[in-house]
Structure formats: structure tokens, C-alpha cells
Structure 1
Amino acid sequence: MYEDLKYWYLRDHKLFRTLSFGQIKQLCIITGFKKASKGEIIYFSSSDVPRIFLLKKGNIKIVAVDEDGNEAIKDIIKKGDLFGELTLETDDKANEYAKVLSDDVAICSFLLSDFEDLLLRNPTLALSYTKFVGLKMKRIKNSYSNLISKDAKTRLCEFLKDWARQEGIRIGDRVTIENYLTQNDIAQIICTSRQTTAQLLNEMETNNLLTYSRKEIIVPDITQL
């Protein structure tokens, strides 16, 4: 059963669409498959066995830990995203982990060494991977630029609009977002305190810009956010 799942998960991913049926089947042999539950930690950058992960279902947060033990959300991983040792190099200075946000997730993973061999044997895949990672790094860089140049309210609005665009269910201008993030998670993403985030969300709710709950966020008119 897992072999069939792995095949279709890999076959459906845009990164592997250049591979033939036989190549996908070979890839299945070196691919690990895992299901995980909300709150479970599934990856540490300090692991002795570096891996690259492919998220097929659910949502995950990447949390960076500084030398003083302070934590900050580095990225939110969504369906189809890759995470782990994406640069194909292990960084001894990096200290981060991945934690499941949604009720359940499904993940495929590759040993870093196996994935490097795969790229060496498939130049077209190597090119696609380079573009894929390049776009991801550009997105992260742009998000950091926004944090530096904009105030907390603007950062929150832009984050909510981006979240709505990627995952919201839209009917006209009304958008409903399944909420798998705590206020503290959102605060870390936009680099402000939980108290400030709570205050801003309350202000938006008072002004009828959104309705916030632990399960969902409803934006009556996304053009007004």
C-alpha cells in the first residue's frame, strides 16, 4: 500500500514530472514514507542522518533556535513543499526543527546522499530542483525584506492576505481560512509579540475586517484587509 502511495505522491509532484515510470519506481525504493500527528516533531537539523523531506499532506512549521534558546518560526511548510537539507549541505551552525501544525500529515523523505546520486543521474531533474529551491529561497528573502521595511499592522495584513490567497476558500470577496496557527505562531512569523498580534487581531475584528477563532479566520471582504 505504501509503495503505491509513494508512487502517486512522487508522480504528482511537479519536481518529478520529467522522470519516467521506471525512474519513479526506482525513486520509490529509496523513499521513506511517514505519517505524523499534530504537535509531533519530525526533523532536527542536528540529525546524524541528513534528509530531504517532501510534504504531501498537512502543514508544518520550521522553527529556528538561537544560541540563547529563543525560538522563531522560520517558515510554514505547505503541501508540495520541500524542507530539510535543501542546499545539499549540512550546516553545523544551523539549529532548527520541524513540527506538525495540522491534525495529520504525510511525508516522503530521502537520504541526502541518495538524493544527490539521483540528481547526478538526472540532469533535467537537477535543473528543476535548482529552480525550485531558488524560488523558495527568494520567497523567504522577500518575507524578511518585508519584515524590515513595514510596521507590524502592515506585516499582519500582508501575511493574512498571502495566507488567504494560498489556502483560503473564496466566495466572491469573502474568504475563509482554516486556522492551524496559534496567535503566538503568527506573532513569530511577523516578528512581533503575541500581545501585539492579539491587539491587532482584536482591532481588525472590532472594525469588522475579520472574525478570528482557533478553528478558522473569516475575512468578509478581502479587498478591505
Structure 2
Amino acid sequence: MSATSTYEELKYWYLRDHKLFRVLSFSQIKQLCIIVGFKKAKKGDVIYFSSSDVPRIFLLKKGNIKIVAIDEDGNETIKDIIQKGDLFGELTLENDRNSNEYAKALTDEVAICSFLMSDFEDLLLRNPSLALSYTKFVGLKMKRIKNNYSNLVSKDAKTRLYQFLKDWSENEGKRVGNQVTIENYLTQNDIAQIICTSRQTATQLLNELETSGLLHYNRKEILIPDITKL
């Protein structure tokens, strides 16, 4: 099998396995492979900038990515953590030149499929069932982001950290009884940005959790002996 055919086959399986595209037939997915870009990235690589002249929709197939928003003063805040199977980029199908954000790989061996926004719009117009599936997918994502924002506004830093650790444990943790182990790909500064506090405060709160025996933290993993105590 040639490198080109292997590459096309890889794109096909990546798309077929995603719940968004399950409404499409075999031949439709094969056609979709023609317009899909594919790339790999390593930890620290920047995937895209919102100010790009060629807006795209991205689908993460492997690894983890952070979406970082930059305010007018140059301060950075982690807007979202993207996990396998998630979409990111110009999800509203509008190229917002006023937004200022970028996506960066958090883990090694990141794999991404992408569509030009114009191609993706055409795809939705030709496939009403896919358009409905996409609307639901994005709606749920926006609801989650809204809930996260609500938690940031209404809760103190300690409560936000606890909630973040619980959500992270539920989404990616390996659980044995009440003990949870999480592969740690976030720095303490990343965690601080996610819960919208200073790095100093985040470090202090993590140290307090360690001292009380509620958490064991290192650069490779986070161990929570009893998730019900958080």
C-alpha cells in the first residue's frame, strides 16, 4: 500500500469513528476525505490563530490541546481544554476578526483533521442530517463553556479548583474504587489560568491539598486517594 493510500485510509477511519459523521454513508465519508486536511503536532506547537486569513474547523483525533484567549492587555487565559473527538476553531461558522485566541498542543503525538470553513459550510448545506448533528454538537459545547463561566463568576478559587479536578477526573481519570489517577499534561500555571487565579494562588491551593492528603501532585500524574472527599 502506498503512503498516499495509507494517508487517505487514515483520514477515512478518523472521520468514520467520529459521532458527528455517523449520519453519513461510506461514499459520503470517502468524498469528505478529499477536502479534509490532516496534520500532527508535538507538545508546545501552536495549531492555529483566530486571526488567520483562512478560517478552519478542526477535529482533534489524538492528544490534548488548550485554547488560549488573549485580552487587550496581553494577558492570557485558558478558555477551554480540547480532548479527543472535540471540535475547535471557527465553530460558529463566522470569522470573528475581533477575537484573539490560539490553540496549542499540550501533549505529544497530537493528531488533527481540519476543514476550510467554506468547505464545511458547503458540506452542511448538502447534508441536512449532518447540519442538525453539528448544531446539537456545538450547542452542547457552548452550554458547557457557559456553565464553566458561570462557575468562575459565582465561586471562589478553592471551589473552582475542586470543581476542575472533579471534572478532569470524570473526563480523563482512571478510577479504582474512589481513587483516581490523572495523566498530568498541565502545568500549575495552566491550572491557574483555567480557574482564573494567579499561579501563586493555584500553587498554594495544590500544596494545601497535598498537605491534607487529598491529592498527590507531580509533573506526570495527579493521584486523588478519595475523589468523594474533594
Shorter chain as denominator, the TM-score bin is over 0.9
Q: Give the secondary structure class of the aligned counterpart of 1:6.
A: helix
Residue equivalent to 1:118 = 123
The aligned counterpart of 1:26 is 31
Say whether 1:157 aligns with 2:153.
no
Letter in 2 for 1:162: D
Question: What residue is the counterpart of 2:3 in the other structure?
Answer: none
Counterpart residue number, 2:19: 14
- CA shift, 1:92, in A, is 1.1
SS of the aligned residue for 1:38 comes to: coil
Quote the Cα distance in structure 1 between the aligned partners of 2:64 and 2:55.
21
- Answering whether residue 35 of structure 2 is matched by residue 46 of structure 1, we say no
- The two structures have a TM-score, normalised by structure 1, of 0.99
Residues 15-63 of structure 1: CA deviation (Å, up to 9, x unaligned): 0000000000000000000000000001010101100000000000000
Partner of 2:151: 146
Among 64, 73, 76, the alignment partner of 1:71 is 76
TM-score (norm 2): 0.97
- In structure 1, the residue matched to 2:176 is 171
Q: Tell me the secondary structure at the aligned position of residue 34 of structure 2.
A: helix
What is aligned with 2:196? 191
Q: CA RMSD in A?
A: 0.5
Deviation above 3 Å: which 4+ runs of structure 1? none
Q: CA deviation at 1:2?
A: 1.4
1:57 alignment partner in structure 2: 62
CA distances 1:90-129 after superposition (whole Å, capped 9, x unpaired)? 1010011000000120000000000000000000000000
Which one of the candidate residues 90, 95, 100 is aligned to 1:95?
100
Q: Report the Cα offset of residue 170 of structure 1.
A: 0.5
CA deviation digits over 1:135-187, x for unaligned, max 9?
00000000000011111111000000000000000111110000000000000
What is the CA-CA distance between 1:66 and the residue it aligns to? Answer: 1.1
Q: Give 5+ residue unaligned stretches, structure 1.
A: none
Q: How many residues align?
A: 225
